[in-house]
Chain A
């Protein structure tokens, strides 16, 4: 093929955006259809530069909105190309209508979502509002906590999404600015090894197969729609997680880096645990270690795969834990948090289940500090000692004003 390879050092200093852009280059994406938005812009900018500099054989399509960006991706994917894009926040919100088209049409697009708050008030910093907005869209959702993981999970996302038994689009999430703009050491793969892991794109029902013409994007009413949605849900519930596990295993064999549906830190004998996503996981791990020095058996559970929700892995890891704090970085706006509800749903019929309390934190990029987490673990230990949840079910962390707690 007519493109140059790039020499990379074993460890490069990359932020999450550049790491994702490098992964898109190494996967040799055929089409990136994109519209810029902070903080995800450098991902597609990076792809465009690699393309202009002759490191990729592909096509960059500049469009007029995120709705058009995902629509362009859908057309290119239906035509039979390897396709990716990136967005954040308001752009993600504008994409939502087409997200359902992509997953319903079973097109293996990879979308890098650099998590950012949703207006109003306008805010460019990281929280998980956009990630939560995509949770019923029928996409696979991976969560990266660092630039390294943003890089690695892109390869894994393509490998899983393009599998003919899966054929579902996948999002790779990373926290806006905290991951996307924070440069860290990233262990790289050389171009051939990286491309070898995802492999050549294997088309399925592509529109450019003129010997087998197909119609994509059809209409079904009450006589057919339910069956198609049921099929998609069935595949998400039964086929995707085993494929993700297989991709995690191959990736570990290739790189030595091990990923899990549910990332466990000091959970073997943990009595109390914090469950969270994104960059908060790393902070919580540091605090958990410090809590152990103080005699509190603390652990951390990070969700690596948000959709499909790893129901059974959660049941397994929580069966001997006494109390957990579930952290939602998105305003539930009138309910318990999504993560709280998912975990409560997973545990509701279990005989042994931990005391559960929910926390809303970090909206609009507000820091989750070590002090917050020390208080949180202390509160969890108090729950264990009392044998019941001693606080209201939902509390807010790090917000100014009178203490907010509900339920």
Chain B
């Protein structure tokens, strides 16, 4: 791809999303779709991120708020169960953390190099409301 010459691609700087026909796209999960290399789904933008969200399923109530609000469709949810984050497309905006309603939050931002297991092991405790 990187060495493709001027005569080796389709005209018009036009990019195809899928190899072949789209078919029943609404009924096909993202990981099962036949995306082309040109689709943004095939490209990682992980290096745009300087802080990453870490998901702690112990506190998650599967409310789907993060899934609804994520601007990059990077919250992976199956059968209304939050199962993780698509770290190839998450840009670290922290909106998921902002909208998470649990106490403590089930999603928190950490530096990109932080170790997930270590952070989950020392997750903040539930905050008590002071009167």
Contact = CB atoms under 8 A, between A and B. Distances in A.
Contacts of B17: 213-215
Given A227-B4, A227-B6, A231-B7, A105 B22 contact: no
A107 B17 CA distance: 19
A290 to B, nearest CB: 49
A213 B25 CA distance: 11
Interface string A213-234: 1111110100110111011101
B48 interface: no
B13 A104 contact: yes
Contacts of A235: 11
B12 A227 contact: no
B22 A211 contact: yes
A218 B15 contact: yes
Interface in A97-111: 104-107
Contact of A230 (B4, B6, B10): B6
A107 B12 contact: yes
A216 B14 contact: yes
A235 B21 CA distance: 28
Contacts of B22: 210-213
B13 A214 contact: no
B59 interface: no
A215 B14 CA distance: 6
Interface residues of B, number: 19
B9 interface: yes
B129 to A, nearest CB: 49
Contact of B21 (A167, A212, A227): A212
Contacts of B6: 226-228, 230-231, 234
Q: Which of B6, B10, B17, B18 has the largest number of chain A CB atoms within 10 A?
A: B6
Contact of B16 (A104, A214, A224, A226): A214
Interface string B1-43: 0101111011111111110011100000000000000100000
B21 A231 contact: no
A205 interface: yes
Contacts of A205: 10, 12, 14
A214 B5 CA distance: 21
Given A223-B2, A227-B6, A231-B6, A212 B16 contact: yes
Contacts of A211: 21-23
Contact of A218 (B2, B7, B13): B13
A218 B14 CA distance: 7
A235 B6 CA distance: 11
A101 to B, nearest CB: 10
B5 to A, nearest CB: 7
A215 B2 CA distance: 19
Interface in A227-274: 227-228, 230-232, 234-235
B13 to A, nearest CB: 5
Contacts of B16: 212-215
A227 B9 CA distance: 9
Contacts of B15: 214-215, 218
A167 B12 CA distance: 9
Contacts of B9: 227, 231
Contacts of B14: 105-106, 205, 214-216, 218
Q: Which of B10, B11, B12, B23 has the largest number of chain A CB atoms within 10 A?
A: B12
B14 to A, nearest CB: 5
Contacts of A227: 4-6, 9
Interface string B69-88: 00000000000000000000
A214 B13 CA distance: 10
A230 B11 CA distance: 11
Nearest to A228: B13
A281 to B, nearest CB: 34
Nearest to A211: B21
B58 to A, nearest CB: 39
A105 B16 CA distance: 14
Nearest to B11: A106
A220 B13 contact: yes
Interface string A183-220: 00000000000000000000001000011111111101
B2 A167 contact: no
Nearest to B7: A231
A212 B18 CA distance: 7
Given A220-B13, A232-B11, 12 more contacts: A104-B12, A105-B14, A106-B11, A205-B12, A205-B14, A212-B22, A213-B16, A213-B17, A214-B14, A223-B2, A226-B6, A234-B6
15 contacts: A105-B14, A106-B12, A106-B14, A167-B12, A212-B22, A213-B17, A214-B14, A214-B15, A214-B17, A216-B14, A220-B13, A224-B13, A227-B6, A231-B11, A234-B7
